[in-house]
Amino acid sequence: MADEPQKKPHLSALVGHTNGLTKPASLAATGTRSTGGGGGGATASSKKLVIKNFRERPKLPDNYTQDTWQKLHEAVGAIQSSISIKYNLEELYQAVENLCSYKVSATLYKQLRQVCEEHVKAQILQFREDSLDSLLFLKKINKCWQDHCRQMIMIRSIFLFLDRTYVLQNSVLPSIWDMGLELFRNHIISDKQVQTKTIDGILLLIERERNGEAVDRSLLRSLLSMLSDLQVYKESFEQRFLEETNCLYAAEGQRLMQEREVPEYLHHVNKRLEEEGDRVITYLDHSTQKPLIACVEKQLLGEHLSAILQKGLDSLLDENRIPDLTQTYQLFSRVKGGQQILLQHWSEYIKNFGTTIVVNPEKDKDMVQELLDFKDKVDHIIEVCFQKNEKFINLMKESFETFINKRPNKPAELIAKYVDSKLRAGNKEATDEELERILDKIMIIFRFIHGKDVFEAFYKKDLAKRLLVGKSASVDAEKSMLSKLKHECGAAFTSKLEGMFKDMELSKDVMVQFKQYMQNQSDPGNIDLTVNILTMGYWPTYTPMEVHLNSEMIKLQEVFKTFYLGKHSGRKLQWQTTLGHAVLKAEFKEGKKEFQVSLFQTLVLLMFNEGDEFSFEEIKMATGVGFLQASSSFEVKDSSGKVCIIADLTVAFSVEYKNNGQKEFVHFFLPQNASVDSQSSCGKDNASHPVLVLDFGAGHSLTLNFSESADKYQVEELVFHYNLSDATLFPNSTTGEVKTVSQKSIIQAHMGTKYRCINSKHINMKNVNVTFSNVTLEAYLTNGTFSVNKTECAEDKVSTTTVVPTTPKRTTSQVPTTNPTPTSSPSNPAVGKYNVTGPNGTCVLAYMGLQLNITYQKKDEKMGLDLLNFIPRNTTSSGRCDNTSALLNLTFEKTNVIFQFALNSSAEKFFLQGVNVSTILSPEAKNPEFKASKNNMSELRASVGNSYKCSSEENLQVTDQAFVNVFNVQIQIFKIDGDKFGPVEECQLDENNMLIPIIVGAALAGLVLIVLIAYLIGRKRSHAGYQTI
């Protein structure tokens, strides 16, 4: 083989064919075999095949390059025309490789680029047509792009060897794929008309989709991917897209803020953000996400932060709309400064809402419960909606501290009284565990108040009463509360309170010894006496009062005195009768009864064993009880002797003062011997106004300054001067100065009417509480005596009993002015039974008598009053309920009353949240069709599973003109067992009525047996000295 006469060129593709398009033939190595002739044996040998390089490089056949390019050109043309290729792709690939091997790569690349460029240039013509609508244009350019990509992929696969050798080695040259992109960008997309129509069309499709239309998202995805691949996405599309998005959402935000409520608007914002996020995922380039979302947030949220909160935050918080508040927090957290402005409005809401609870004296009864409910509510919102954000927690605490101290001392006093109500025996609202949780909540509110010393004073007073009267519900609960106070305020704060408990324990030991002592007496008597001996410094200060005890009581006091001083010589006992207590056994015709009454009440009631009727003065003289206070009457006359002011009233004072550095409270009444001071005056036209000045005691005075405005007169200012040097009222006062306190606008009445207020009206001033009761008062008198017509205070509701009518009686009366009181009224309404059935059975069960009380303006501009009793048999009821609310709808004749009940889930209590009233008034009414509603009430409250019961009349104020009066009500909402009420929770009015009052002039016959348990308060010192009992 080495001696071959001729060597073949090293061009495998040329073997057999000169066009270079045939696959190379395989080279075969052959062996030869020789056969020997002797010995019958045969031998075989093989020869090696040796291949050597050509001595010189083979030359291309003539026209090879041209012919090969021609075939390649045809193949490219077939691909661009989408027709079949006549040649095998592998042969085409080999041909490109052969051309590249012979240094024609540059020419080949140039020729290929030229062919592709000519084809791309030709495509532009189809986009010059103006008749194409936007969608067809987009589909056409998308098809052109898809075809171009497919063609370039096929072309690159044929010219792959060129792309991976020559092009790769020349960094200035784009790859075949990039060349295709460059050509398409330069000749198609960079065309101004094409680009404009493409971008306009894409933006139009996106706009339609934003407006709710269905669009071809795959078309958008393909076109935007094209722009991204061609590297014109940002400059040609994104900038315009963001500008139009900005304009769209700016206009939409302005419009929808006017049209929609806040929850609906925020839901829309959230929906828009989700939609734009989905667009990024589906067809927009990922780089657009951040500026796009920022644009939406800015225009729909950032520009309206204050407006959103001002318009809707309060209502969301009032209605406790947890999902909407959660969404608000999440959305505001996305925007720069959003959380900060939400914090500010959150704080303002807490302060404003809390202030309405604290500063309104009419809400004092429910202040603490409302504060606890409000605290539970905001805690729940912070936990669920605000993700326990520390900033919201801290600002909530600051806000609570701010509003709760806007009314000094009163919250502290009411918190102490609330604790007393929970720790007092008879409180069946809570188990021990629930009571512990309530006390923990109370301590949270307690931390916010500044007047902790005021709390201590009232708490000590109430604790003393619970301990002395044996009304403490649980010693463990008392000590738990004491431990909480000690942990919060330190040992010094609770040292006296702890001393009170020690005294009670020591007193028990003393009484055990006293009982043994009494057993050894020859005449132990019929009265069982219990005495508590108390250390002076631990207990509240009580003013001693001498009363006239009967002989048996006095004898027993002396026995105890002998016993005690025999064990503790050198001490002086002082009996505290003000806290004495007794159990009276009485016999009536109907049977025996037991009364639990105070010592003073005992003395009065015992008098009726001796007679059937006593005057007030007789009772006062016989008992020596000095605080039985009747009303005092005062008059002011002008220079001619004409009366201009009459005041018949009872006034009680409660004053806080310093006793050797310790705060003390003293209570006293305006005495009957108080005198009208010479400074009292009827006033002179516009120069001065009427004034009533009452002097009493050692330098004390009470001044009522009157004024008039339009058709009303009022006590413009109440002024109280008290002299701390008066040792009778203020023993051991640290200072002897005269103090002055005042309060504006406490009483108001219509001109020509007397002001009437039977119930107590409390006036709170610095360190002083003044309580008016049984008040009849009138200024600017014209005839020297009280007017016939009267203006009643809000605390009073007059109901005159008459014969029960057999048909509904509607009483209409004429009164002189607004807020009148009727001169007569129907009898109490009959009690009806009403219920509402829900998905889970009975959800509303109610027994009550119902009365409607409406003040209206008549056609003659005078005022009228309509009273209507509902007759149960003629009343239809309906309603509905769900898990958190219930509605009771009662219709009688043309009158409809709707009661709306709600559930406080955190406190597990139901309550009356709102009342809607509609009726047709008397024809004489100026507007006969009457409607009124109130939706922020908190009445008829009881624990879920229990029923609310009140035998007393309750007046539910809907507006100034409308009251709904309920009688003998028992009602239960949720968790009702069939048609049976759960355990009863009595109303406060009934609890108050359970106290046996001292009835002056009434006869109480049949008192025959007396068992007296006198709780005598003692004061003791650690060394020999005085001790008060």
174, two tokens: 């784009």
Alpha helices by DSSP H, 359-490:
367-384, 390-404, 410-423, 432-448, 452-469, 475-489
Least confident of 873-877, 987-991, 1020-1024: 1020-1024
Q: Would you mind telling me the total number of residues written for the chain in this entry?
A: 1029
Q: Kind and range of the H or E element at 653?
A: strand 643-659
Least confident of 265-279, 534-548, 618-632, 929-943: 618-632
Strands 863-869 and 1026-1028: unpaired
Least confident of 329-343, 427-441, 959-973: 427-441
pLDDT at 642: 86
pLDDT at 57: 63
1017, two tokens: 């308060």
Question: pLDDT band at 801, cuts 50/70/90?
Answer: very low
Greater confidence (139 vs 787) lies with: 139
Q: Under a CB-based contact definition with an 8 Å cutoff, are residues 501 and 479 in contact? A: yes
pLDDT at 428: 61
pLDDT at 187 over 50: yes
Greater confidence (373 vs 451) lies with: 373
Adjacent-strand bridge partners of 947: 984
CA distance 619 to 624: 8
Q: Under a CB-based contact definition with an 8 Å cutoff, are residues 943 and 429 in contact? A: yes
Q: Under a CB-based contact definition with an 8 Å cutoff, are residues 1011 and 552 in contact? A: no
Strands 712-723 and 700-709: antiparallel
pLDDT at 121 over 60: yes
Give the CA-trace dihedral at 339, 341, 347, 350, to 10 degrees.
-90
Number of H helices, E strands in the chain: 26, 31
460, two tokens: 């000590």
pLDDT tens digits for 30-77? 343 444 444 444 444 677 888 876 666 667 677 888 888 999 999 999
Q: Under a CB-based contact definition with an 8 Å cutoff, are residues 1017 and 468 in contact? A: yes
Least confident of 407-411, 669-673, 811-815: 811-815
Residue 934 burial (10 A CB sphere; 0-12, 13-18, 19+): middle
Three-state helix/strand/coil letters over 281-294: HHCCCHHHHHHHHH
Cα within 13 Å of Cα(850), Cβ side: 27
Alpha helices by DSSP H, 887-997:
988-993
pLDDT at 26: 37
Q: Hey, how many other C-beta atoms are within 10 angstroms of the C-beta on 577?
A: 22
Greater confidence (21 vs 622) lies with: 622
pLDDT tens digits for 576-586? 887 788 888 88
Q: What Rg, from alpha-carbon coordinates, does the chain have?
A: 50
Q: Under a CB-based contact definition with an 8 Å cutoff, are residues 628 and 620 in contact? A: yes
Greater confidence (240 vs 567) lies with: 240
Nearest to 832 by CA among 776, 783, 876: 876
pLDDT tens digits for 980-1004? 888 888 775 544 333 223 222 222 3
Q: Under a CB-based contact definition with an 8 Å cutoff, are residues 762 and 718 in contact? A: no
Percent of the chain residues topping a pLDDT of 90: 31
Q: Hey, how many other C-beta atoms are within 10 angstroms of the C-beta on 531?
A: 24
- E strands along 114-269, which residues? none
Helical packing angle, 262-282 and 239-259, nearest 10°: 160
Give me the DSSP letters along 572-625.
Answer: EEE--GGG-EEEEEEEETTEEEEEEEEHHHHHHHHHTTT-S---HHHHHHHH--
Q: Hey, how many other C-beta atoms are within 10 angstroms of the C-beta on 53?
A: 8
Question: pLDDT band at 426, cuts 50/70/90?
Answer: low
pLDDT at 539: 84
Q: Under a CB-based contact definition with an 8 Å cutoff, are residues 845 and 971 in contact? A: yes
Greater confidence (810 vs 606) lies with: 606
> Mean of the pLDDT values across residues 419-429?
76
Q: Kind and range of the H or E element at 96?
A: helix 89-101
Task: Please give the C-alpha separations between residue 532 and each of 3, 358, 423, 540, in angstroms, as whole numbers.
Answer: 143, 38, 20, 14
* Average pLDDT value over all residues in the chain: 81
pLDDT at 133: 84
pLDDT at 543: 65
Least confident of 251-255, 488-492, 519-523: 519-523
Give the CA-trace dihedral at 949, 954, 960, 964, to 10 degrees.
70
- Which residue's entry shows tokens 């927090």? 329
Adjacent-strand bridge partners of 790: 754
Three-state helix/strand/coil letters over 121-134: HHHHHHHCCCCCCH
Least confident of 92-101, 713-722, 824-833: 824-833
pLDDT at 826: 52
Question: pLDDT band at 427, cuts 50/70/90?
Answer: low
pLDDT at 568: 80
pLDDT tens digits for 916-929? 999 998 888 888 89
pLDDT at 487 over 50: yes
The vertex-165 CA angle with 159 and 167, nearest 5°, equals: 75
What SS3 class is residue 735? coil
CA distance 238 to 295: 13
Nearest to 603 by CA among 560, 558, 556, 547: 547
CA distance 753 to 735: 43
Displacement of CA 728 from its chain's centroid (Å): 50
